[in-house]
Structure 1
Amino acid sequence: MSSTIDFMEVTMSEGLKKSPSNGFENSLTPEEQQEKINEVRRLVGPLPEKLSIYCSDASISRHLRARNWSVKKATKMLKETLKWRAQYKPEEIRWEEVAREAETGKIYRTNYVDRHGRTVLVMRPSCQNSKSTKGQIRYLVYCMENAILNFSPDQEQMVWLIDFHGFNLSHISLKVTKETAHVLQDHYPERLGLAILYNPPKFFEPFWMAAKVFLEPKTYNKVKFVYSNEVNTMKIMEDLFDMNHLESAFGGKDNSGFDISKYAERMKEDDKRMPSLWTGGSHPSVAPQPALTSTASFDASKDSHSDASENDETDSSQLHGINTEIASPEHNTPAIDSGIKGLENVHLEEVTTQEDQAHG
């Protein structure tokens, strides 16, 4: 089962609809929004360094938008994400651990952005090369963290280009879709700006009708269907991308294709920049773009356990419905341990917020 197809499945819809939160968000003044951000930060309380860096105003704002600006719901969501990040340690995943999952180019970050300057991830479900659910989810998380690392200072969302070439029914799994939806919706809120489904087959529509019940409207409404033989939908590509840089697989003029050797070097360089973002440096949303040219070779022998069967070394722990590889306790610092315990001990349903007082 492909994490690429799961990545795509959690964003598909039959059309675009207005988010139900837009009206309420637009009714809030900047001062009122800042008050809610400050209240969430107060409810979360003191945190270890990495988690504190994660809780920027922009990050808290994304959680609030994802929960219709409900302080109580956004705080609960943020605390769950902080606990997940403290245990799963997504910022510590490195290329050597996920390299085997990436070999076929089933998910990769392009060396171009859209006309709005947004990072672009390409996904090819037919290029699946692993049976490990844990390995696929871990590579998915690595790709998300890498995309965020490469955001331009004025952007906090990305574009997904999903190529359906060679797609068939064997690439569909509701189980992994549900787990993937949890990761993307619960731990990366408001990171998707647009998902483009390129030449999706007709038989996929009935499956999508069943799969989208796992998703929130704000997630599955961010989608556009594009067909290479329909001029009106191809105009979407022309409006969003410089066709000279867009890959030929999506109707562009770039015929270079995916090169795992060059891509591996790009990712290794990005890995070197990642630690500085979590040691008091700048937030990922304002990280500079790296150089995108490289010619060094890829060493497939440095692969991890990610290609193992999902039945091998299965971790019995579950975080909000997601089977994950939880970091060993000895890898947690006392500060992280304290932070996790603090998050676990908070009963959000008992927290009285200014919202509750206002409605009381």
Structure 2
Amino acid sequence: MSERVYEPFPPPKTINASPVPAVTPEQEKMQKEVQAHFSRDGYAIPGTDHEKGPLMEEEKFWLSYECQLRYLRATKWKVSQAIQRLESTLKWRREYGLYNHITAAHVEPEGLTGKSVLFGYDVNGRPGYYMIPSRQNTEESPRQIEFSVWMMERCIDLMDANVETLDLLINFAEKAKNPSMSTSRTVLSIIQDHYPERLGKALVINVPFLVTMFFKLITPFIDSVTVEKLKFNVNVVKDGFFSPDMVMKAWWGGNQDFEYKHEKYWPKLVEICEERKARWVENWRKLGGTVGISEAKYKLEEVTSHSVAYDEKTTVPEADSHLPVAQAV
């Protein structure tokens, strides 16, 4: 009989990450154009006060080599559109309060019942983001959407080197309380506009008729690439998306007897994510602390003081997570 688990797992030490899309010489040239735009002397985010326009350290960290490529892929390799979208997201991140307002303390009331849980990783190392609508505990409000954004950011904190996407696992059993069309469209808009190339799969189970109709209603607002990632009423273990030891037993067919206890789960999740992010930022500083440093490099377990700023011609070695899997309590 498996032990009950109350805490999230850090990424496993060994993963089979999906191959990162190869970049052609022409595409590399486009990335360098984007890089040059954000690296030039006197750069300021358009539409911001002159004194506040220059990039903050958090924004330079966010504008990684891979981030630039994600936006280029999302705009089908149109440099001007990629720059425009990156600047739109930079401005949104500031105005939405990602650096000061949307904190763990602010959104914690939304997480008390475990309606959204980060747990386990698929066979390619993508973090599993569970949504359990039946556990909804608050009325619709801006904070509900802010909670979704905060959880997206924590998914990114749990992505090891060469992992850029996440899996949504949505269970509509037990009289799920569905969000309104307005809230759904707002969340979809945020994800599509400001988190491009971040969804690996959306795995949905126990889909009743009304929810099926709901998805049909919102599908026109979802881009065609995202629609192809939607999988309904799947068996995530038998269909090869997750190994049994990385998925919940209840409803999903894994062997992890997970139970949500907020006082155990929440502080551990925050601790894991904060530790990883702090280590990455320190490594990023050692690599030069500037725009365009590779995520695959700063996510290495250790970066020495002899490391140099990111060079596109440098081969990025494979990275290996150093964090132990959380033990069952």
State the TM-score, normalized to the length of structure 2. Answer: 0.71
Q: Confirm or deny that 1:144 pairs with 2:138.
A: no
User: Per the alignment, do residues 234 and 61 of structure 1 end up closer, same or farther by CA in structure 2, a change over 3 Å counting?
Assistant: same
Please state whether the residue corresponding to 1:74 is helix, strand or coil.
Answer: helix
Q: Confirm or deny that 1:265 pairs with 2:273.
A: no
Alignment equivalent of 1:185, drawn from 189, 192, 206: 192
Alignment equivalent of 1:252, drawn from 251, 254, 257: 254
User: Per the alignment, do residues 235 and 276 of structure 1 end up closer, same or farther by CA in structure 2, a change over 3 Å counting?
Assistant: closer
User: Per the alignment, do residues 176 and 267 of structure 1 end up closer, same or farther by CA in structure 2, a change over 3 Å counting?
Assistant: same
Q: How does 1:57-68 map to 2 (within 5 A)?
A: 57-68=65-76
Contact 2:244/2:253 (8 A) holds in 1: yes
Which range is displaced more, 75-84 or 86-95?
Answer: 86-95
Q: Confirm or deny that 1:207 pairs with 2:218.
A: no
Alignment equivalent of 1:176, drawn from 167, 179, 183: 183
CA distance in 2, matches of 1:245, 1:36: 38
CA-to-partner distance for each residue in 1:298-323, whole Å, 9 max, x for gaps?
xxxxxxxxxxxxxxxxxxxxxxxxxx
Give the equivalent residue in structure 2 for 1:196: 203
Contact 1:266/1:293 (8 A) holds in 2: no
Give the equivalent residue in structure 2 for 1:321: none
User: Per the alignment, do residues 294 and 83 of structure 1 end up closer, same or farther by CA in structure 2, a change over 3 Å counting?
Assistant: farther
Give the equivalent residue in structure 2 for 1:301: none
| Number of aligned residue pairs | 262
Give the equivalent residue in structure 2 for 1:38: 32
Alignment equivalent of 1:72, drawn from 80, 84, 101: 80
Unaligned runs of 5+ in 2: 1-20, 44-54, 288-293, 301-320
CA-to-partner distance for each residue in 1:272-313, whole Å, 9 max, x for gaps?
3335545644876637564553799xxxxxxxxxxxxxxxxx
Shift in Å, 1:95: 2.2
Q: How does 1:16-31 map to 2 (within 5 A)?
A: 30-31=24-25
The runs of at least 4 aligned residues of structure 1 exceeding 6 Å deviation read 282-285
Contact 1:95/1:271 (8 A) holds in 2: no
The one-letter amino acid of 2:114's match is G
Which range is displaced more, 129-138 or 179-188?
Answer: 129-138
User: Per the alignment, do residues 91 and 294 of structure 1 end up closer, same or farther by CA in structure 2, a change over 3 Å counting?
Assistant: farther
Please state whether the residue corresponding to 1:171 is helix, strand or coil.
Answer: coil
Shift in Å, 1:49: 2.1
Contact 2:236/2:252 (8 A) holds in 1: no
User: Per the alignment, do residues 254 and 138 of structure 1 end up closer, same or farther by CA in structure 2, a change over 3 Å counting?
Assistant: same
Q: How does 1:280-295 map to 2 (within 5 A)?
A: 280-281=284-285, 286=299, 288=321, 290-293=323-326
CA distance in 1, matches of 2:160, 2:273: 17
CA-to-partner distance for each residue in 1:155-211, whole Å, 9 max, x for gaps?
11111111111244x524110111101211111111111110012112222222221
Contact 1:151/1:284 (8 A) holds in 2: no
Shift in Å, 1:151: 0.6
Contact 2:166/2:201 (8 A) holds in 1: yes
Taking only the aligned residue pairs, the percentage that are identical comes to 27
Q: How does 1:109-188 map to 2 (within 5 A)?
A: 109-110=118-119, 112-168=120-176, 170-188=177-195
Q: How does 1:200-349 map to 2 (within 5 A)?
A: 200-226=207-233, 233-234=234-235, 237-248=238-249, 249-270=251-272, 272-273=274-275, 274-275=277-278, 277-278=280-281, 280-281=284-285, 286=299, 288=321, 290-293=323-326
CA distance in 2, matches of 1:184, 1:289: 29
